[in-house]
Amino acid sequence: MPITTCVFDAYGTLFDVAAAARQAASEPGFEKLQQKWPELANHWRLKQLQYTWLRAITDAHSDFWDVTQDGLDWALDATGLEGDPTLRQRLLDLYWELQAYPEVPQMLTALKEGGLNTAILSNGSPPMLDGAVQSAGIGGVLDDVLSVESVGAFKPHSSVYDLVQQRFDCARDEVLFVSSNGWDAAGASGYGFVTAWVNRADEPMDRLPWTPAHVLSDLTTIPQLAGV
């Protein structure tokens, strides 16, 4: 069936999750971060994801903002930057203003002009996602922003992917689901979506029962994949 709906993961897919650490490292007063920000950004993102999985399998769901703060605290400790409350607060503040990747506005505009539904499906809490969408200025080219908080489970739980069909009344194979997380793209593929993995870091394929239909280096060709 033709694609009618394009759905995107948010963090790392539309929004650059390293932007907060990179921006803070360029600001006065945070000189200790200048050499360590890539390491901190990587630790922060990995722990953020790991904590969602651990909370999911132990039935200890928590708001994604709590998980994000916990991940940052671990990353600060791991990089020897703990104990600076001003740095911690600045990094958290910047996470609400993450930059979108350069190709995102034009790509979403092309999808909307082509008549497709567009949405975010994210682990992020509604306030976090609203902050990122408004900061990036892409609200006008999104039909909806769907958060896992409405089902109380993190991806890749099937109840999260169910939100897309409930919102757009579409068949699974009408959905192009796009994520920068290989495990997320794989999980959505197993669910029945057509999937694209945005592999910006050129990582190996995850060893899982399912694989994404497409592997891309960025989002530029999404409109072509969607048939517009």
DSSP 167-189: HH---GGGEEEEES-HHHHHHHH
pLDDT at position 78 is 98
Task: For residue 222, report the phi and psi dihedrals to the nearest 5 degrees.
Answer: -55, -45
CB 186 within 8 A of CB 208: yes
Q: How many domains in the chain?
A: 2
pLDDT exceeds cutoff 90 at 145: yes
pLDDT at position 1 is 78
Catalytic residue set: 9
The first and second tokens of residue 112, run together, are: 């909307």
Same domain, 63 and 32: yes
Domain C-terminal end among 70, 95, 120: 95
pLDDT exceeds cutoff 90 at 148: yes
The first and second tokens of residue 68, run together, are: 């994000």
Domain C-terminal end among 76, 95, 114: 95
CATH number, position 25 = 1.10.150.240
Same domain, 193 and 117: yes
Antiparallel, parallel or unpaired: β 144-147 and 194-198: unpaired
Cα–Cα separations (whole angstroms), residue 75 to 49, 79, 191 = 13, 6, 32
pLDDT exceeds cutoff 90 at 46: yes
CATH number, position 205 = 3.40.50.1000
Same domain, 66 and 168: no
Mean per-residue pLDDT, 208-217: 97
pLDDT at position 202 is 94
Same domain, 87 and 107: no
| Full residue range of the structural domain in which residue 33 is found | 19-95
Same domain, 11 and 23: no
Same domain, 179 and 91: no
163-184 pLDDT per residue, tens: 999 999 999 999 999 999 999 9
Domain C-terminal end among 63, 95, 127: 95
Same domain, 119 and 73: no
pLDDT at position 204 is 96
Same domain, 104 and 9: yes
SS3 196: strand
Rg (the chain; Cα; Å): 17
Q: What percent of the chain has pLDDT over 70?
A: 100
| Intra-chain end-to-end CA distance of the chain, in Å | 14
Mean per-residue pLDDT, 213-225: 97
Same domain, 108 and 46: no
CB 103 within 8 A of CB 220: yes
Same domain, 75 and 116: no
pLDDT at position 15 is 97
pLDDT exceeds cutoff 90 at 63: yes
Find where tokens 């409405």 sit. 150
Same domain, 106 and 35: no
CB 228 within 8 A of CB 110: yes
The β-bridge partners of 145 are 120
SS3 3: coil
Mean per-residue pLDDT, 98-126: 97
CB 27 within 8 A of CB 87: no
Cis omega before residue 156 (within 30°)? Answer: yes
Same domain, 103 and 189: yes
